[in-house]
Amino acid sequence: MELGNQIKKYRKERSLSQDALAEKVYVSRQTISNWENDKSYPDINSLMLLCDTFEISLDQLVKGDVETMKQRMNMSDDERNEFNRLGNIFGFLLLLIGVTPIPLVHFLSYVGMGIWIVILLAGIYAAAQVEKRKARYDIQSYREIVAFVEGTTLDEIEKAKEEGKRIYQKILLAVGTGVLALAVSLFFIWLLGV
């Protein structure tokens, strides 16, 4: 890919540091570094700001990267669909994990426990696949996931806000999951008269 090299070339031609360029296009220095090392691509707003800063046309900046960008956009549609599919599978398995253990064990004894363990292992595998994709695309919070699924991105300020919320969301998720598991267990104990 050429875009990273182009950004670096034009930045150095204008004797700008990564920090100075980041300030001009309203992103972090790390974002500039990621663009220059082809770890990520700038969004269209950032591309336009880069063109204004470098006083060049968009064609000059992206040079041969138009096809690469098209391929990435098409690939990301497939990846978003895969993420949605995995999310739906994980959600269904999570529901089964929460709802089925007591009835399976009550009605099928050890066979039921075996079936539940298979469901549990499938759920763990699906969760690992979802987490792997979340890490790959650096999406953790609800808003980041929704933006990814819709094919959009959060701007740098929104992204920073969401990163600040992540720890609280993880704590809330853990507590909420524990309370829900307790409620489901108590419901089935009451229902089955155990």
Tell me the per-residue pLDDT of 21-34, one tens digit each, with 9 for 90 and over.
999 999 999 999 98
Q: What is the dihedral of CA 14, 19, 22, 26, to 10 degrees?
A: -130
- pLDDT of 166 > 80? The answer is no
Q: What percent of the chain has pLDDT over 90?
A: 30
The answer, yes or no, to whether residue 39 has pLDDT greater than 60, is: yes
Give per-residue pLDDT as tens, 52-88.
899 888 877 876 555 555 554 554 677 888 888 999 9
Q: Is the pLDDT of residue 111 over 90?
A: yes
Instruction: Tell me which of 46 and 164 has the higher pLDDT.
Output: 46
CA–CA gap between residue 91 and residue 77 (Å, rounded): 21
In this predicted structure, the answer to whether residue 6 has a pLDDT above a threshold of 90 is no
147 pLDDT above the threshold of 70: yes
Residue from 64, 20, 26 nearest 43 by CA: 26
**Regarding predicted confidence, which is higher, 92 or 159?**
92
pLDDT at 160: 72
Structure confidence at residue 96 (pLDDT):
93
H-only helix segments in 3-100: 3-13, 18-25, 29-36, 44-54, 58-62, 66-99
Q: What is the pTM of this model?
A: 0.53
Tell me: pLDDT of 158 over 80.
Answer: no
pLDDT band at 194; cut points 50, 70, 90: low
Exposure class string for 160-191: b at 16+ Cβ within 10 A, else e: eebeeeeeeeeeeeeeeeeeeeeebeeebeee
Asked whether the beta carbons of 165 and 140 are under 8 A apart, the reply is: no
Please indicate whether residue 160 or residue 5 has the higher confidence score (pLDDT): 5
pLDDT for the residue numbered 85: 92
**To the nearest whole percent, how much of the chain has pLDDT over 70?**
90
